Amino acid sequence: MTKTIERYNPRVEEPRWQKAWDDNESFVASDKDDGRDTYYMLEMFPYPSGRIHMGHVRNYSMGDVLARYKRARGFNVLHPMGWDAFGLPAENAAKQTGSHPKTWTYANIAAMRAQLKSMGLSYDWTREFATCDPEYYHRQQELFLDFLAAGLVTRKSAKVNWDPVDETVLANEQVIDGRGWRSGAVVEQRELTQWFFRISDFSEELLAALDTLDGWPEKVRTMQRNWIGKSEGLRLLFELMPSNETGRTSVEVFTTRPDTIFGASFIALSPDHPLAEEIGRRDPAVQGFIDAFHRQGTATETLEKAEKEGVFTGLMVRHPTRPSETLPVYVANFVLMDYGTGAIFGCPAHDQRDLDFARKYGLRVIPVVLPPDTDPADFTVGADAYVGPGTIYHSEFLDGLTIEAAKREIARYFGARQVDGAVQGTVETNYRLRDWGISRQRYWGCPIPVIHCPTHGVVPVPKADLPVRLPDDVTFDKPGNPLDRHPTWKHVPCPICGEPSRRETDTMDTFVDSSWYFARYTSPHASEPTIPAIANTWLPVDHYIGGVEHAILHLLYSRFFTRAMHRTGHLGMDEPFKGMFTQGMVVHETYRDTAGDWVLPADIVLEGMGEARHATLASTGAPIEIGAIEKMSKSKRNVVDPDEIVRTYGADCARWFMLSDSPPERDVQWTEAGIEGASRFQQRVWRLLHDTLELGPGSEDASSATAEIESIRKLAHRTVQGVADSIEGLRFNSAVAQIYELTNGLSRFAAALEATPDAFGTAVLRDGVERLLQLIAPMMPHLAETCWQLLGKSGMVADAGWPSVDTALLVDDTVVMAVQVNGKRRGEMTVPKGAPVPEVEKQALSLEAVARMLDGAPPRKIIIVPDRIVNVVV
C-alpha cells in the first residue's frame, strides 16, 4: 500500500484516553455484589522517593495487564495504588535541605502520581492513600491497641544497635564494620525497652501454612521456611560441679543431636550468656575475651571468617551419661545467645564447628556414629566431622541404634531424670524467628499510642483520643528523636489519673505500615481499620506482584498481621495473598568516562556492533568505556528515566517492551533497540488498522470463503485462546509473541486483499483486527482505544470484554505429522485429523525418505502417536 498515513501520535492520544477513563470512572471498583466474581490485583506500593523508575514501570505494567485482562473476563476488579510514605529518607532530606518531611513526602507523591497517571494504569484512584495520612495511621494506632489488648504486643528489654552520635537505634543493615552507617560512630550494644509484636507465637502456624500457599513461588516459600527456622531437639540440663563461686548448680543447653551425647567433650557458652558475664566479672581473662568479641561486633564479614575461639571458665560439669566424668565449660565466639539457650554441648566428632574448636584447644574427639558398612576399627575422624547417617556406637545403652532411634531413646532417658529438681531433658522445638521489634527513635513514623504514667505504668491512649498526631513543629538540627526533644508534645496527663505523664516518643517501624495496607484499600476511608464484611469479599489478594527483596520481611509481617487482624475481628482470613509473584529486575549496561566516572545512558552515543561496538560522550565525543550489565541504580547512573521514555515513545511502548522481552521472573535488559521495536510494532498496528479501514466493511456472506480466509479466521481465534492462556500463566512475553504472529498474518492478508479484493475476506480481516485490538488492550491500552474508536466500535475497548472463541476453529481437519526413522525426523505428511492408524502407517512407509532408510527391509516397529508423530524403528 503506497498511500501515506499520519503516524500514530501517543503524545496526543494517551492523555486523551487517560482523561476518558477517569471521566468514565472505568476502573472504580464496586463494593456492591453485582453478580460478578471479585478479583483483587495488587502491586507493591512504592516509597515516594520522588521519581518512578523502570522497575516500577515493569511491576505495574504486569499488574495492569492482569487487572485489565481480568476485568475484560468479567471480574469485578479491585486494583488500587497508594504510598508507603513514612521512613527515614524524608528525615534525611529534612536534615540536608531543611524541608519538612511532610512537605517533601507529599510533593514527591504528587510528582509520582502524575508519572503513574501518564502510564495509563487502570487504578482505582478513589482508594489512594499514603501511610503518613493521619486518617491511615489513626487506624493503625487502633490496630495497635487492639493487638495490645489481645496480648499480641509486648514490651520487653532487648539488645539493640545504638549509635551514640545520632542517638538512635540502628537496624543491623545500617551497621557497617561495627560503625553507624551515617555517623561513623562505633555502635554500642544497648539494652533498651522496646515494643514487640509477638510474631514468634505464630512461628508454627506461619510455617505450616506455607504448604497451603501453592500460588506462591517455591523460592519465596523456601526463604520463609528458612527464616522461621524450625528445629526439633532436646533442652538438656548439665549439672555444674560444686567447686564454683557462681552459686549456680546447672547449665542448660539446646541440641538437635542428643544421640551424640556420649561423644560430648565440652560445654560452650555464648559470650552474651548471663553465666559468662558473671564469670567475666571475676575472671579478667574471660572478661577480656568477651570484650574482644564485642569489639568485633556485628560486622558480618568478620563473623563469617572468624576462627573458632574460646576461653576456659574454670568450671566443670558432670557428664550426664557418664557420671564419673566431667567436661570443661568454655565461653566460645561461635555460640549465639539468641538461639536455643545460648549454650551448647560440643561433640567434635560429629559437628564441624565443635571439631575445629576441639582441635584448637586439645579436647577429646570421640566418634559415636559409625557410617554404614564401616568397620569400627577403620573409622577415624580427621579434619572433617562426620555428619552423615549411621549406627550409634561407643555409647553404652544406645549402641546399635540408628540416629533417629537413639534420639528417641535418649529423650526418654533424660525425661526420666532430674537435675536441680527439674526434669533433665525436655523435647523442645526451637525457631529462629524472633519477635518483631517495632520501636524506632524517629520522627517520621506512626506514633505508638501509649502513655507512661508514674503510677499506672503503660497506659493505652483511649481510642477516643486517637489519632496521636505527629507535631509539625519539629527540628532536625540536633541528633536524636525530634519527638523526644519537642518542648510540649510528650507531656500529657495520664488518661487514668490525670497526673503528669510521658507520651511514648518512639514511632513504629515502617514495615508495620505496609503490613495491612492491602486490607485498608478495601475500605480506605472507613472510620475503623476495615469493614470486615467488605474486606472479606475482596481478600485475600488474588495476585500480588513485587520485588523479591520483600520475599521475607514484608510478606512475613503481612501474614502475621492478617492473622492478628483475624483474631481481633478486623479480617476473616489468615493469609493475605493467595497468588504471589516476584518479578525480575530491570538491568542496563554501565558506562564510564576516562576519569572512571559513571555516565548516564542518555548522555552517550553508541556505534558499531560486536567487537567494534563502542561508545562516545554525546557532548564532546570523548571515549566511553562500556561496562557490565547491572541492575539500574542511581549510583552507577545506568538509569533510564521513564518520563523521558513516555515523552519520546509513549506509555504504551514502555509497557509493551517491559512485557515483551523476557519472562517476567527473569531480569530484563533495557535497550534502545527494544523500545524502538515496541514503537515499530505500534505503528505497524496503526497501519494495519488504516489498511483495514481502507478496504471497507466487506460482506458477511461466506459463500466465497477460501482456504486462506479460513486460515486467517483460525489464526485469530487461536491467538485469542493462546494469549488468554499465556496471560493467565503470566507468560507475557509469550502472549506478545502470539500477538506479533497475528499481526503479521493480518498485515499480509490485508496486502493480499488490496491486490485481490474479496468482500468476505475483508469482513474476516476486520473481525481479526477487532480481536487483535482487544488482545492488545491490556498491554497497549491507549493505542487499542484509538483504533477501536476509528474502527467505529461503540464504547471503549476497556469495556468491551474479552473476544469470544469459536472452539470449532481451534481444531484442524487435517494435521501435519512428523515422520521419524529411529527417532530422527525424515519427513512430514499431511493426514486427515484422526486418520486411522493403518492409513497413517501406510502413508508414512510410502514416504521416499522412509523407504530409502528402510532399504527394502520391513520395519521392526512403528510407533504412532495419533495426529502428532510417526516413528519407524528399523
Partner RNA sequence: GCGGGCGUGAUGGAAUGGUAGACAUACGGGACUUAAAAUCCCGGGGCUGUAAGCCGUGUGGGUUCAAGUCCCACCGCCCGCACCA
Residues 569-628 that bind RNA (CB under 7 A): 609-610
3-state secondary structure of 778: coil
Contact of 308 with 372, CB cutoff 8 Å: no
Cβ atoms within 10 Å, residue 723: 29
Based on C-alpha coordinates, what's the Rg of the chain?
A: 35
- Taking CB under 7 A as the criterion, the residue among 390, 674, 698, 781 binding RNA is 674
Q: CA 723 to CA 69: how far, in whole Å?
A: 10
For residue 369, the minimal CB distance to RNA (Å) is 14
Does residue 233 touch RNA according to CB under 7 A?
yes
Residue 303 touches RNA, criterion: CB under 7 A: yes
CB of 238 to RNA, least distance (A): 13
694 binds RNA (CB under 7 A): no
Shortest Cβ 295–RNA spacing (Å):
13
Residues 89-148 that bind RNA (CB under 7 A): none
Is 734 a residue that touches RNA (CB under 7 A)? yes
Q: Which of 667, 694, 708, 841 binds RNA (CB under 7 A)?
A: 667
For position 340 contacting RNA by CB under 7 A, the verdict is: yes
CB of 68 to RNA, least distance (A): 21
Q: Which of 156, 412, 469, 680 binds RNA (CB under 7 A)?
A: 680
| 142: CB partners within 8 A, 6+ apart | 463, 466, 528, 529
- Shorter beta-carbon distance to RNA: residue 247 or 608: 608
598, 740, 809, 845: residue in contact with RNA (rule CB under 7 A): 740
Task: Out of 142, 661, 691, 770, point to the residue binding RNA (CB under 7 A).
Answer: 661
Q: Is 495 in the site for RNA (CB under 7 A)?
A: no
Of 175-183, 204-212, 616-624, 680-688, which part binds RNA (CB under 7 A)? 680-688
Contacts of 696 (CB under 8 A, 6+ apart): 762
Span from 297-305, 389-397, 418-426, 481-489 in contact with RNA (CB under 7 A): 297-305
Answer for which of 818, 843, 845, 854 binds RNA (CB under 7 A) is 818
Q: Does residue 731 belong to the site contacting RNA (CB under 7 A)?
A: yes
Closest separation between CB of residue 827 and RNA, Å?
Answer: 9
Give 131 or 662: the residue with its C-beta nearer to RNA. 662
Say whether residue 666 binds RNA (CB under 7 A). yes
Element (H, E) at 285: helix 284-296
Q: Supply 273's cell numbers.
A: 550468656
Binding to RNA (CB under 7 A): which residues in 695-724?
none
DSSP state letter for 211? G
Q: Where are the beta strands (DSSP E) in 262-408?
A: 266-269, 310-318, 326-332, 343-346, 369-370, 391-392
Closest by Cα among 126, 133, 130 to 30:
126
Nearer Cβ to RNA, position 568 or 738?
738
- Cell numbers given for 316: 566443670
Beta carbon nearer to RNA, 40 or 414: 414
226 belongs to the binding site for RNA (CB under 7 A): yes
Name residues contacting RNA, limited to 835-864 (CB under 7 A): 849, 852, 861, 863
- Asked if 736 touches RNA (CB under 7 A), the answer is yes
Least gap, CB of 756 to RNA (angstroms) = 15
| 282 binds RNA, rule: CB under 7 A | no
User: Scanning residues 531 to 550, which ones bind RNA (CB under 7 A)?
Assistant: 548
Is 203 a residue that touches RNA (CB under 7 A)? no
- Rounded to 5 degrees, φ, ψ at 131 are -70, -15
865 binds RNA (CB under 7 A): yes
3-state secondary structure of 253: strand
Residue 816 contacts RNA per CB under 7 A: yes
What is the C-alpha to C-alpha distance for residues 650 and 744, in angstroms, rounded to an integer? 22
Q: How many residues bind RNA (CB under 7 A)?
A: 83
- Cβ closer to RNA: 403 or 552? 552
- Residue 382: count other Cβ atoms within 10 Å of its Cβ: 9
CA distance 39 to 42: 10
Residue 28 or 299: the one with the smaller Cβ distance to RNA is: 299
Cβ atoms within 10 Å of 836's Cβ, excluding its own: 11
Region binding RNA by CB under 7 A among candidate stretches 9-17, 92-100, 248-256, 790-798: 248-256
Question: Cis bond leading into 467, ω under 30°?
Answer: yes
Would you say 326 or 683 has its CB closer to RNA?
A: 683
CA 370, 373, 378, 384 torsion-angle sign? negative
DSSP E strand boundaries for 787-840? 814-821, 824-832
Give least dist CB 437 to RNA, A: 15
* Member of 326, 671, 789, 843 binding RNA (CB under 7 A): 671
Q: Distances from the Cα of 291 to the Cαs of 169, 310, 815, in angstroms?
A: 21, 12, 79
Going by C-alpha positions, the residue among 816, 857, 859 that lies closest to residue 840 is 816
Name the segment binding RNA (CB under 7 A); options: 124-132, 337-345, 710-718, 831-839: 337-345
Is 125 or 339 the residue whose CB approaches RNA more closely? Answer: 339
∠ CA 792-19-652 to the nearest 5 degrees? 75
- Burial 797-830, CB ≥16 within 10 A → b, else e: bbebebbebeeebeeeeebebebbbeeeebbebe
- Which helix (H) or strand (E) segment holds residue 623: the answer is strand 623-631
- Round to whole Å and give the CA distance between 789 and 786: 5
x-or-dash string of contact with RNA, 748-787, rule CB under 7 A = x--x------------------------------------
Query: What CA–CA distance (Å, rounded) separates 325 from 651?
Result: 77
**Alpha-carbon span 151 to 60, nearest angstrom:** 38
Helix or strand (DSSP H, E) at 170: strand 168-170
Residue 868 interacting with RNA (CB under 7 A):
yes
Give me the 308-327 binding string for RNA, x by CB under 7 A, dash otherwise. Answer: x-------------------
Whole-number Å distance between alpha carbons of 492 and 516 = 29
Interface with RNA, residue 684, by CB under 7 A: yes
In the list 823, 838, 856, 858, the residue contacting RNA (rule: CB under 7 A) is: 823
Kindly tell me which of 364 and 432 has the beta carbon lying closer to RNA. 432
Among 53, 68, 257, 578, binds RNA (CB under 7 A): 257
